Amino acid sequence: MSPSLDVLRPGPRTSLQDLGRTGWRAMGLPVSGAMDRIGLRLANALVGNPQNEGCLELTLSGPLLRIETDSVRIAIAGPARLTLTTARGEQRTLSPDRSWRLGRGDLLEIGPIIGSAVAYLAVEGGFAIDPVLGSLSTHLGAGLGPLGGRALGPGLLPLRRAEAGSGPDLTLTRPLPYGDGPIRVIPGPQAEAFTEASLATLLSSCYRVGMRSDRMGMRLEGPKLVHRAGADIVSDGIVAGCLQVSGDGGPILLLADHQTTGGYAKIATAISADLPRLGRAAPGDRLFFQAVTVEQAEAARRDQERALLTGLNALAPVAEVGRIDLSALYRAELISGVVTGDDEPVARPEAGAI
């Protein structure tokens, strides 16, 4: 049997995603890609993949997988509950935001994702699946992408590697730059299509993520926004983060699978630095909005990228269970010396050491 993951239970709306299908919007094809690009990049970094390698995007809860290869290194980025049942029947809980080496016959159950709508599963070397129009991203509404453009179903997911690499597992050592506080928006591009009171309402009110939200758009529940002369405009370009407002006054924040053009007026646009946080927002979450300038948005994006690269470069090897990291103890000055069984010193006492 070729190396693979056997999907015993796919989980709700699990799909293959990468950083998106670029270069096709002029043909009417959405970019799609990960709802949380920080999470996808982290998952890939933990297993040593290029940042744009395809991952499984898990929504609200994840799949049940059986390992059908000699060994595989996997990582889950995001606050998911992970349970491993080994081929010998031993059960243990695994931590997310680090990589793990699993063996043939092991069962990995990914349960509820708590604190985020999405999480990401990466495998070392990636999945042996052909891209569609240069990308492994799946647009579920259009049926475009790998696996027939559908969500993950039961069956085998082929892997590129039959064995995990010999390097150590890695773990996240510092928080990544999702940010907090209000979602920052730039008014427009059709802010003039709304009453002045409507923009003030958007920037001073609490909105909740509605139950009808999906990868295309987040329906916000809260105060209605009022158009000056109707919701319709001549269709123009759409980007992720646009807050378009339909005729009933309800705002819709467009996300990864958004259409390429739209005919509703857009009161504001969320900045790119806050899109990963929006991608993680689950139904019922509360959102507040704050207006910023284009210059502030660009600076925020640059700062976020620098912080993200710093965090990914700080991934650390996982210490082997039961093995003492002597160099770390020396640096912390927790011990002053060690002797071998032959009473030969291997570390000299230092002044001031405990």
pLDDT tens for 264-296 read 999 999 999 999 999 999 999 999 999 999 999
Q: Where does the pLDDT of residue 333 fall: very low under 50, low under 70, confident under 90, or very high at 90 and above?
A: low
In this structure, the chain runs to a length of 354
> Residue 247: inside a domain, yes or no?
yes
Domain that holds residue 151: 4-171
Of 113, 145, 171, the position where a domain reaches its end is: 171
**Tens of pLDDT along 67-83?**
999 999 999 999 999 99
Please check the confidence at residue 112 and state whether its pLDDT lies above 90.
yes
Mean pLDDT taken over the chain = 91
> Residue 46: inside a domain, yes or no?
yes
| Res 354: pLDDT | 36
- CB count within 10 Å of CB 114 equals 13
Please check the confidence at residue 335 and state whether its pLDDT lies above 60.
no
Q: Is the dihedral of CA 98, 103, 104, 107 positive or negative?
A: negative
Strand 286-287 relative to strand 207-209, pairing: antiparallel
**Which of 10, 18, 16, 23 lies closest to 62 in space, CA to CA?**
10
**Tens of pLDDT along 187-233?**
999 999 999 999 999 999 999 999 999 999 999 999 999 999 998 89
**Dihedral class, residue 48 (left if φ above 0, else alpha if ψ from -120 to 50, else beta):** left
Q: Does residue 158 share a domain with residue 18?
A: yes
**Tens of pLDDT along 26-66?**
888 999 999 999 999 999 999 999 999 999 999 999 999 99
Cα 285 to its chain centre, rounded Å, is 17
Q: Does residue 217 share a domain with residue 349?
A: no
Residues 6+ apart with CB under 8 A from 305: none
Q: Copy the structure tokens of residue 48.
A: 């040593």
Q: Does residue 157 share a domain with residue 22?
A: yes
Q: Copy the structure tokens of residue 267.
A: 């009161």
**Tens of pLDDT along 14-26?**
999 999 999 998 8
| Res 347: pLDDT | 46
Of 171, 201, 220, the position where a domain reaches its end is: 171
| Res 319: pLDDT | 80
In this prediction, what percent of the chain has a pLDDT beyond 90? 85
Strand 289-291 relative to strand 183-187, pairing: parallel
Please check the confidence at residue 122 and state whether its pLDDT lies above 70.
yes
| Res 269: pLDDT | 98
> Residue 115: inside a domain, yes or no?
yes
DSSP one-letter code for 25? G
